Each structure stands twice: as C-alpha cells, then as structure tokens.
C-alpha cells in the first residue's frame, strides 16, 4: 500500500492543476493543413468500395512474428478499421512508436485513418511498455474515492497513449463488483457501488478525452455479478431487468449521458432478460443500449476469440452475422489470422447474398466515420519520436534515456 500511495503522490506532482470539464469531449487538435475541410460522413461513405466498408468492421491483433507482407495485406488488401496492440508486439517505447508509425504510413492511401487501440486500464491490465508510468488498479481509486486523482490517472495514461500514436483505449471498466467472488474484476472495478463506479469512470474518461483519446467503456451490460470469466466460458448472470437497470446499467447510462463514443459489449448471458448473449442480442444492443439508454456511438465486441462468443456449436461465420445484425458495429479479433480471414469473408458474403442489408452495413459505417472524424484521426504520428521520448522520460525518472 505504501508503494501505491507514493505512486499516487507522484501522479499528483506530474499533473496539471487545471480542473477539466465534466463533459467527455476531446481536446481540439488543429489539423496540419487548415485549408482541408472534412467531408460529411455521407460523402465519405459514398466513396467507399464494398471491400473498404467490410474492412472497417474489424479491429485485429497480430502475433509478434508477423511478416511485413501480412501487415501490408491487413491494411492495403483487407482495408481494416484498426489494430489492437499487445506487449508481444513491442519490447519498449521506441518499438511501440516505430510500429505505430509504420502502420499509419502503410495506411496513407486508404480513405479512413486507423484506430490504434490498446487495453490500458492501469494496474492488472496494462499494455504500455516498461518505460511508462504504472498507474494503480481501478480498485485503489475507488477505495480512495478522490475524483480528481482518478481524472489525473486518465490524463497520465492519455498523455502516454497520445505520444505513442494510440487513439483508442478499451477502458475504463464500468462493471460493478456485484459478486465479491468475482476474481476477474476484483482489482479492475472501481467498486460495488453504482455511484462510485459512475463517478470514477467519468473522471477517468475525462482524463483520457483531455488528451484526445477515445474511451471504449466495458463490459456492457455488466460483468460484475458472476464468478465466471468470459475468456473461458459464457457467464450466466441470473438477474432480472429491474436489477439490471438500478445497478449494472447506471455507470453506462452516466457515461452515455456525458457523451461516450464507444461501448464494448461483453459475452454475457442474462437468461431472465433474453435468451441470446449480449453480443448477439437485439434486446441488449438495439432496445436497451440504443433505445433506452440513448447511445449513438460505436458498439464493439470484446475479443470474439474468447470462449464466451461461440455457443450451441455455432460456426464463427454464423455467430458474426448474427451479432452484426443484432447491432454490433466492430468486431475485435485479437489473435488468429485464420479466424480473422473467416470473419472478413463471412461479412462480405453476407452482404453480397443479402443476409446483411446495405442499410444495416451503412448504419455501422456512419458511426465509425463520425467518430474517426470527431477525433480527427490521421495517418501521421502526433509527435516526433524525440518529443514523444522526452515526454515519457520526463514523466518517469526511471525510464531509460
């Protein structure tokens, strides 16, 4: 605990004292050429080929030994929406920076810039390299219950992601720790009280947003009231709709009210509410998330290679089409090229055959385009390597020079 307190004090010392707005809006980043005017989402959409449209529906991970040829294929042939990065993809900050610079340069001729995403919650789930400041788990901030401190943690993480060329963070966790035996989220959740989770979630989002980083909150509709891990199985959560609304949904509703742009849907089954897992459920995505909660942003899946995604001997192709028609916009496929190829082919064939309508496809594309434009994503790095390295080294005295 003493070490954690020292880290927290260090965060305070590094951070600005300026209080940020409660609204989760990104800092305005001036375009490099002020004469360039962004087209509307309809104009961008009209210029996309079917291949480009399908590619925007996936964010892919890759192994550490991936060839240059395969990286080029993801970007120039598959036209994918973006990448999710893991520690296996880089050994240090220099490699992370150079990797993102390469990915962005390869994407220059594509009509939409890349999402470069990461799971950077702090603490237990941290993907930043060793030079970065290590932020404590969400549980520490929830226990301390200091909103300013939580916002500062988001600012520090946001600065480092921005310097590295990352623009989308799969965080914070807005799950309420409803079941005290939930080991998966024991440290990753802000706590068992809906108001505390909501307050600290918004504070963390504000910190990220102040540095131009998109937050994707997770794991809607709530992974807290279970001892199961959706990486290994499909958790079954036996609560009714009334309990869901007065507990699990409160932090997500709060984030949506504040303007959150992306929500990650968990592979979770609530049999008293719907017989479909949330990632395949029109009830949870269309009716509750978009209808009742008023969410207009991007709905992403948790990694679909997790065991919780497939059920009842479904093929990956069948599961993805069902999920997309239920309202998912982007599939995260973090590991296996074969699965990634199957998903891309399945989505393409479903559109050509009419199983997925053009109207439904364009609905997701518009959401994706709007968010990429809102944050003015580009295929250029945000800083030179010297500036980025200086920021990391200045923030962390233990970082190698």
Of 231, 240, 275, 296, the catalytic one is 231
Quote the pLDDT of residue 39.
Answer: 65
Average pLDDT taken over every residue of the chain: 89
pLDDT less than 50: residues of the chain = 1-3, 5-6, 9, 11-36, 397, 400-401
Classified as helix, coil or strand, 210 is coil
Quote the pLDDT of residue 401.
Answer: 45
- Residue 263's H or E segment, with its range, is strand 262-265
Quote the pLDDT of residue 176.
Answer: 96
Q: Whole-angstrom distance between the N-terminal and C-terminal Cα of the chain? A: 29
> Catalytic residue at 231?
yes
Assign residue 319 the CATH number of its domain: 3.20.20.300
Q: Are 285 and 327 in contact, with CB atoms under 8 Å apart? A: yes
Which residue's entry shows tokens 């958790």?
235
Q: Are 350 and 319 in contact, with CB atoms under 8 Å apart? A: no
Quote the pLDDT of residue 162.
Answer: 97
Residue numbers of the domain that contains 68: 2-16+39-395
Q: Are 322 and 312 in contact, with CB atoms under 8 Å apart? A: no
From 346, 284, 349, select the one nearest 320 (Cα to Cα).
346
Q: Is 306 left (phi over 0), alpha (psi -120 to 50) or beta?
A: beta
Determine, yes or no, domain membership for 32. no
Determine, yes or no, domain membership for 6. yes
Residue 356 C-alpha from the chain's centroid:
24
Determine, yes or no, domain membership for 105. yes
Of 261, 302, 303, 329, the catalytic one is 302
Quote the pLDDT of residue 183.
Answer: 86
Percent pLDDT > 90 in the chain is 79
Residue 210 C-alpha from the chain's centroid:
16
Interacting residues of 341 by C-beta distance below 8 A, sequence separation 6+ = none
Quote the pLDDT of residue 394.
Answer: 66
From 25, 43, 30, 81, select the one nearest 368 (Cα to Cα).
81
Determine, yes or no, domain membership for 33. no
Ranges of beta strands (E only) in 68-221 are 82-85, 115-118, 168-169, 214-220
Determine, yes or no, domain membership for 45. yes
Residue 390's φ and ψ, nearest 5 degrees, are -65, -40
What tokens were used for 213? 């980083």
Q: Are 241 and 253 in contact, with CB atoms under 8 Å apart? A: no
Determine, yes or no, domain membership for 368. yes
Determine, yes or no, domain membership for 185. yes
Determine, yes or no, domain membership for 107. yes
Residue 4's φ and ψ, nearest 5 degrees, are -65, -45
> Catalytic residue at 200?
no
- Burial of 183: CB neighbours in 10 Å, binned 0-12, 13-18, 19+: exposed
Domains of the chain: total:
1
Q: Are 141 and 150 in contact, with CB atoms under 8 Å apart? A: yes
* Residues 242-281: tens digit of each pLDDT: 999 999 999 999 999 999 999 999 999 999 999 999 999 9
């Amino acid at each position: 605990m003493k070490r954690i307190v020292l880290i927290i004090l260090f965060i305070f010392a590094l951070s600005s004292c300026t209080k940020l707005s409660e609204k989760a809006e990104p800092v305005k980043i001036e375009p490099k050429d002020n004469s360039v005017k962004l087209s509307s989402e309809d104009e961008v959409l009209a210029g996309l080929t079917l291949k480009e449209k399908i590619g925007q529906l996936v964010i892919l991970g890759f192994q550490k030994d991936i060839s240059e040829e395969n990286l080029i294929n993801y970007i120039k042939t598959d036209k994918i929406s973006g990448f999710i990065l893991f520690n296996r993809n880089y050994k240090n900050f220099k490699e992370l920076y150079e990797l993102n610079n390469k990915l962005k340069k390869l994407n220059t001729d594509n009509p939409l810039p890349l999402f470069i995403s990461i799971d950077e919650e702090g603490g237990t789930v941290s993907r930043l390299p060793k030079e970065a400041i290590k932020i404590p788990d969400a549980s520490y901030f929830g226990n301390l219950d200091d909103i300013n401190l939580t916002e500062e943690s988001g600012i520090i993480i946001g600065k480092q992601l921005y310097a590295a060329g990352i623009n989308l963070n799969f965080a914070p966790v807005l799950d309420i720790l409803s079941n005290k035996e939930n080991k998966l989220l024991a440290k990753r959740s802000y706590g068992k009280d809906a108001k505390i989770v909501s307050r600290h979630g918004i504070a963390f989002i504000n910190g990220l947003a102040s540095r131009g980083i998109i937050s994707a909150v997770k794991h809607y509709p709530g992974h807290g009231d279970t001892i199961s891990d959706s990486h290994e199985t499909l958790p079954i959560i036996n609560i009714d709709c009334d309990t869901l609304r007065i507990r699990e949904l409160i932090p997500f509703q709060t984030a949506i009210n504040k303007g959150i742009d992306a929500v990650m849907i968990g592979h979770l089954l609530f049999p008293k509410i719907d017989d479909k897992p949330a990632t395949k459920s029109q009830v949870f995505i269309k009716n509750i998330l978009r209808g009742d909660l008023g969410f207009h942003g991007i709905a992403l899946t948790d990694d679909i290679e997790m065991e919780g995604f497939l059920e009842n001997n479904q093929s990956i192709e069948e599961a993805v089409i069902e999920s997309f028609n239920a309202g998912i916009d982007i599939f995260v496929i973090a590991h296996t090229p074969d699965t990634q190829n199957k998903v891309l082919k399945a989505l393409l064939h479903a559109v050509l055959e009419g199983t997925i309508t053009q109207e439904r496809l364009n609905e997701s594309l518009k959401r994706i385009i709007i968010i990429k434009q809102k944050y003015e994503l580009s295929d250029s790095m945000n800083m030179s390597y010297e500036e980025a390295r200086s920021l990391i080294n200045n923030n962390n005295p233990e970082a190698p020079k």
